[in-house]
């Protein structure tokens, strides 16, 4: 990331699953990374061990809450970031179990980040800085039939607090970045379910990670969807690559602020739970994965559809996911073996 080299990059939600992988990637590129999170547990980043050790002096941790504007303003004032990756959020199941907190963190918290960025740039008479944001397939809502391809500009009618907040943030980001204002340079990707080692709790689709992680750790796992349930899934390393590529994209080529990112494909479809199971059993052996449908959770999973990322391919040269299902499981296993200290207990609900 030559545009930020040697300067401070702020990652909200930086001690989390995607944040830790992103932080490691940025540290390797020579960036000074500021992790801003209410959770002081840094195992997901320090657990990279010898890989992290050479870069630890480039990392600063700030404990704070993005839902409090004063906290967010303070981190900008003290650390003066030249780029922002806003990953802090309460995930889907957690936001449904506590919609008040979901609203405060996911929507008010993001408004705080956008406002802090705007005020920071205006106070210093500086050019708008980039605010990178991960939106979600859940922003499209229940009008989508199972397995339906979802285009970049399809109608968004979410049915969850998580999805509703993400749509609101997309529109806020467009507002803050409009030609008439140019307060920030907002850029967002809509991810499918992101899976990988050390994922955290709170997402309705967390079963896709647990179906891989638990058997590879020698544990049994009972998935709460049917075997034929298809889910658009993306390996975390491809998710990081998408964020970084969009960050570096020439603004002259970007015809929109928000882009779908498609996940792994099985033919022209997203993988089924049965296909995930088969890929895992090639390494872990049979018998660890069973299925017992939780209808409430299964119904939410079936609203997600399958993302069409042709707009990202056309505008900024995105090539699509580089990890197929077998490669994902194999790399997941390598991560578990190499970095066991990164793994935290995962439950369905939580902050």
Percentage above 70 pLDDT, the chain: 95
Largest CA distance in the chain: 61
Region 161-185 average pLDDT: 96
Residue the block writes with tokens 């010898």:
50
Note the pLDDT tens digit of each residue in 8-45.
999 999 999 999 999 999 999 999 999 999 999 999 99
Tokens encoding 281: 């059993």
CATH number of 2-342: 3.40.50.720
Query: Quick check: 143 pLDDT over 90?
Result: no
Cα atoms in the 13 Å half-sphere on the side-chain side of 126: 16
DSSP letter at 272?
A: B
pTM of the model: 0.94
Q: How far apart are the first and last CA of the chain?
A: 31
Of 58-72, 90-104, 181-195, the one with minimum mean pLDDT is: 90-104
**Integer angstrom CA distances of residue 321 from 98, 99, 212, 234, 312:** 33, 32, 18, 7, 12
pLDDT over 50 (residue 287): yes
Residues 305, 140 contacting (CB under 8 angstroms): yes
pLDDT at 142 over 90: no
pLDDT of residue 350: 38
pLDDT for 15: 94
Cα separation values, 279 from 131, 213, 219, 276, 291, Å:
36, 12, 16, 5, 16
CA 217 to mean position of chain CA atoms: 24
How many Å apart are CA 137 and CA 105, to the nearest integer?
19
3-state secondary structure of 270: coil
Over 90: is that where the pLDDT of 258 sits? yes
**If pLDDT is split at 50, 70 and 90, which confidence band does 97 have?**
confident
Give the DSSP letter of residue 61: E
Burial class (CB in 10 A: 0-12, 13-18, 19+), 236: buried
Helical (H) or strand (E) element with 306: strand 306-307
HSE value, Cβ hemisphere, 13 Å, CA-based, for 78: 12
340: which residues sit within 8 A by CB, 6+ positions away?
Answer: 47
* The pLDDT value given to residue 348: 45
What local confidence, expressed as pLDDT, does residue 201 receive? 65
Taking alpha carbons only, the member of 173, 175, 169, 142 closest to residue 156 is: 142
Q: pLDDT at position 141, please?
A: 84
| pLDDT for res 342 | 94
**Residue that the structure tokens 């994209």 belong to:** 249
């Amino acid at each position: 990331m030559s545009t930020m080299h040697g300067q401070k990059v702020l990652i909200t939600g930086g001690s989390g699953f995607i944040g830790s992988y992103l932080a490691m990637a940025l540290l390797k590129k020579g960036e000074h990374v500021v992790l801003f999170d209410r959770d002081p547990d840094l195992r997901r980043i320090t657990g990279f061990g010898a890989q992290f050790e050479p870069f630890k002096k480039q990392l600063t941790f700030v404990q704070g809450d993005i839902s409090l504007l004063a906290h967010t303003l303070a981190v900008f004032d003290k650390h003066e970031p030249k780029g922002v990756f806003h990953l802090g959020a309460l995930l889907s199941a957690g936001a449904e179990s506590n919609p008040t907190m979901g609203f405060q963190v996911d929507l008010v918290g993001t408004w705080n980040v956008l406002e802090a960025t705007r005020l920071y740039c205006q106070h210093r008479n500086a050019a708008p800085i980039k605010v990178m944001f991960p939106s979600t397939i859940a922003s499209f809502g229940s009008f989508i039939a199972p397995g339906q391809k979802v285009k970049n500009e399809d109608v968004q009618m979410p049915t969850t607090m998580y999805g509703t907040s993400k749509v609101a943030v997309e529109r806020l980001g467009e507002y803050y970045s409009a030609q008439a204002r140019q307060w920030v340079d907002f850029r967002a990707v809509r991810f499918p379910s992101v899976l990988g080692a050390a994922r955290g709790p709170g997402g309705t689709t967390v079963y896709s990670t647990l179906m891989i992680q638990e058997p590879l750790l020698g544990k049994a796992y009972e998935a709460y969807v049917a075997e034929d349930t298809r889910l658009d899934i993306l390996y975390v390393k491809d998710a990081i690559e998408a964020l970084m590529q969009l960050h570096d994209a020439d603004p002259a080529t970007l015809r929109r602020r928000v882009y779908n990112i498609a996940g792994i494909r099985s033919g022209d479809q997203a993988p089924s739970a049965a296909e995930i199971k088969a890929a895992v059993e090639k390494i872990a052996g049979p018998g660890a994965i069973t299925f017992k449908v939780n209808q409430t959770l299964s119904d939410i999973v079936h609203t997600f559809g399958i993302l069409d990322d042709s707009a990202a391919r056309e505008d900024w040269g995105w090539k699509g996911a580089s990890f197929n299902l077998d490669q994902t499981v194999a790399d997941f296993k390598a991560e578990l073996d190499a970095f066991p200290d990164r793994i935290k207990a995962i439950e369905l609900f939580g902050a």
